[in-house]
Structure 1
């Protein structure tokens, strides 16, 4: 909790942390309205899955270009421009008059998300190096906090009954706070990044960890995109509670990320991955009861279980004997991004071919696989 106190007491650290929150405030607001957008455009689950793929595709496409742009204009300016880009593009999916315009809007919004994601993580890394202060984990906690704020905003649906007005209000909140604090980081410039190509011989020891990263990030992306539709169509939740699954997931994800470092120090990385998977398994069983309130509690358990797993995978991957830290982390990031990109799409096609309940049973199976994998990770360690 030391890093959280640091962020809340010093605008130099709060400013980049709020950029993390901003990303998820806008993305979370979009996630809340996915069921309504699906209904308004009259598209099926498979088509929705493809649309969500375009959002992830935009995110993935910007990766090769982002580092060069950041090094050219400076990481501080890149982060501020990233905030402006997500604010400009977040409204596009809400204005789409048809399915094809929705695909284009989601692609550009995804690209803006990816650019800010890389910029703000690079910014925090540079500040940590300059100040010798660690606040990366807490910054990711602020990302989850943004999801909490978006989830709380879901209760405005009853009063606003206007998705465009809702996202505009979210954009005003994001821009207003960032405009006040961005001067604390806009001057920061990062040195050129050194590229260390991944060697094929290092693939073997990282393979298992990469698979775990793929499954967890894929499940996380699926929860964000499909939890509202699950509550609406499977649990028959009232309109006011459709966003509650995402809210519960985000709240416990936030708490877990703020507390994860201290727990990890006590029980170790592999145990925290196993424990997190076990908690998520319990959560999925509650979700699959299809009872609205049990499902919401289940999403909370899944968020708590997932919260510390990905940071610990980076920690394990960066400490494998004979593998440079940057190479291990890069591999884990690549497999995780691939899972986040493909997870919601696969879930959409499964839901269309069979049922959304089967899709969530598949997510449960993924968590069980992760839990079993930790026994092999202990042997590798």
Structure 2
């Protein structure tokens, strides 16, 4: 909780943390209106899926160029520009009059989301280096908190009965707070790095971190998408408990991120990833018992384990020798998003061919692979 208190007591750190919350407030507000958009535009599930694909396409399109832009304009300014751009782009999808404009709007939302994601993680990395303070994990906790705030905003759906107005309220909230705090980080620039020529030796640690990010965020995405169905079909849980696994996962994810920085100061980043993987393994084993209460506990335990992995991976990637922090963060973010988006449909295909139990056995194996990767990281750092 030390890092959470640091954020809440110092505007220099609250500003970047609020950018994390801002992204999920805007994305979550869009997400709760997906069924409404489908109905209003009279499109089917496949057309909706195609439109959402353009959201992902926007994210991946910006990753190769984000680091170059961030280094050119400065990480503080890039984060500021990202906030304005995502606020503008966030208004577009809920005003789209047809499928094609929806696809274009979601592409822009994805691109601005991806750019802001990389810049804000790079900003926190640079502030940690400059101030010798750790708050990356707590900043990611604010991202989870943003999702909670977006969820609470769902209570406005009925009284407002106006999706664009609802998004405008979310944008004004996000922008109003950011305008007050962005002056605290606007001038921050990445510390100069003595870059080395590209070599396999230089790329290897990033590749390993990227693979760990792919498996970690892929597992997160799979649990978010499939936990409810697992409890319904495998654990034969009553309807009232179908969402309990997702809720437990999100609550412990948020809590773990607020606690993670203090533990990381004592253990170090690599050991934190190992600890997170070990906790996730225990969680998966409980899920695989298929007993309802144990499975719900397992999802919650998995959330606690995964909560610390990605923030630590960004922290490690932003400090790889000979690599600019923005480039390290961009690569790890790209691999992570790829896992988050690819894993759920792939596991859906596996579930259709076999069963959901096999899917969670695969996730268990991934957690063991992440744990094994930490031993390689330790050797390469030693």
Q: 1:275 aligns with which of 278, 292, 297?
A: 278
Query: 2:75·2:123 contact (CA, 8 Å) conserved in 1?
Result: yes
Matched, 1:75 2:75: yes
Distance in 1, Cα, partners of 2:191 & 2:206: 28
CA shift for structure 1 position 89: 0.8
Matched, 1:341 2:338: yes
Alignment of 1:56-95 (within 5 A): 56-95=56-95
Unaligned residue ranges in structure 2 (runs of 5+): none
In terms of mean alpha carbon deviation, does 187-196 or 165-174 score higher? 187-196
Distance in 1, Cα, partners of 2:95 & 2:64: 29
Alignment of 1:73-152 (within 5 A): 73-152=73-152
In terms of mean alpha carbon deviation, does 265-274 or 74-83 score higher? 265-274
Task: Report the TM-score when normalising by structure 1.
Answer: 0.77
CA shift for structure 1 position 215: 1.7
Query: 1:53·1:344 contact (CA, 8 Å) conserved in 2?
Result: no
Distance in 1, Cα, partners of 2:199 & 2:95: 45
Q: 1:12-53 CA deviation, whole Å, 9 max, x = no partner? A: 221111111111111222233334444554332x55444333
Query: 1:280·1:302 contact (CA, 8 Å) conserved in 2?
Result: yes
CA shift for structure 1 position 255: 0.9
Show the counterpart of 1:12.
12
Q: 1:372 aligns with which of 365, 368, 371?
A: 368
Alignment of 1:169-208 (within 5 A): 169-190=169-190, 195-196=195-196, 198-201=198-201
Show the counterpart of 2:44.
43
In terms of mean alpha carbon deviation, does 25-34 or 154-163 score higher? 154-163
Query: 1:58·1:106 contact (CA, 8 Å) conserved in 2?
Result: yes
Distance in 2, Cα, partners of 1:357 & 1:28: 32
Distance in 2, Cα, partners of 1:140 & 1:211: 20
Unaligned residue ranges in structure 1 (runs of 5+): none
Task: Report the TM-score when normalising by structure 2.
Answer: 0.77
Q: Aligned-pair RMSD on alpha carbons?
A: 4.2
Change (3 A) 1:206 1:7: closer
Distance in 1, Cα, partners of 2:156 & 2:335: 33
Distance in 1, Cα, partners of 2:315 & 2:80: 29
CA shift for structure 1 position 203: 6.2
Distance in 2, Cα, partners of 1:315 & 1:188: 17
Change (3 A) 1:315 1:367: farther
Distance in 1, Cα, partners of 2:37 & 2:227: 12
Distance in 2, Cα, partners of 1:378 & 1:64: 27
